Structure 1
Amino acid sequence: MSDDAGTVTLTKMCLKHGIDMPRKGKLAARFQTAFPAAHYDEEAGEWRMEWKKGSFAESNARLEAFFAENGVSISHIDRC
């Protein structure tokens, strides 16, 4: 995926999200600033974020707002 990701995939896996976007680049740097608890999972090849039970709606809203502000479309996969 290029640094100029037009679409990212958010995979909801119950207590964590997988975010399919570039590991490095401007978007990744802004993402790390906005979500300092996020980390890149080398094995999975995507960003991961852990969420507390009951905060899924809030977490999705924050992620959607971040990507919208950065001109990136989102697709969702629910594996929970």
Structure 2
Amino acid sequence: MNDSALHVTLTKMCELHAIDIPRSGELAEHFQLAFPSASYDEEAGEWRMVWKKGTYAESNARLEAFFSERGLAFSHINKC
């Protein structure tokens, strides 16, 4: 998969957030460095992060900035 052509889906499931990016590769390495609390969920096939209530706006802004700085498109799905 070509990271420059990647569209990232960010799914909010209340305190659990899912980030649909590849498990490995340069993007995943940078993501893991920027968000050390994230872990890859093998069963779901996506990265997962737990955020505390009240930090969603800040957390979303950090994720959006991370992907925007890399020229990647992203969208949000709210399942909360």
Q: TM-score, normalised by structure 2?
A: 0.94
Match of 2:21 in 1: 21
Does 1:11 find its partner at 2:11? yes
How many percent identity over aligned positions? Answer: 68
Structure 2 unmatched ranges of 5 or more: none
Residue 30 (structure 2) aligns with = 30
Moved over 2 A (4+): none
- The aligned length equals 79
Q: CA deviation at 1:3?
A: 4.7
TM score, norm. by length of structure 1: 0.94
Change (3 A) 1:3 1:29: farther
Q: Which runs of 5+ in 1 are unaligned?
A: none
Q: For residues 26 and 7 of structure 2, what CA distance do their matches in structure 1 show? A: 15
Alignment pair present for 1:69 and 2:69: yes
Query: Root-mean-square deviation (CA), in Å?
Result: 0.9
Match of 1:53 in 2: 53
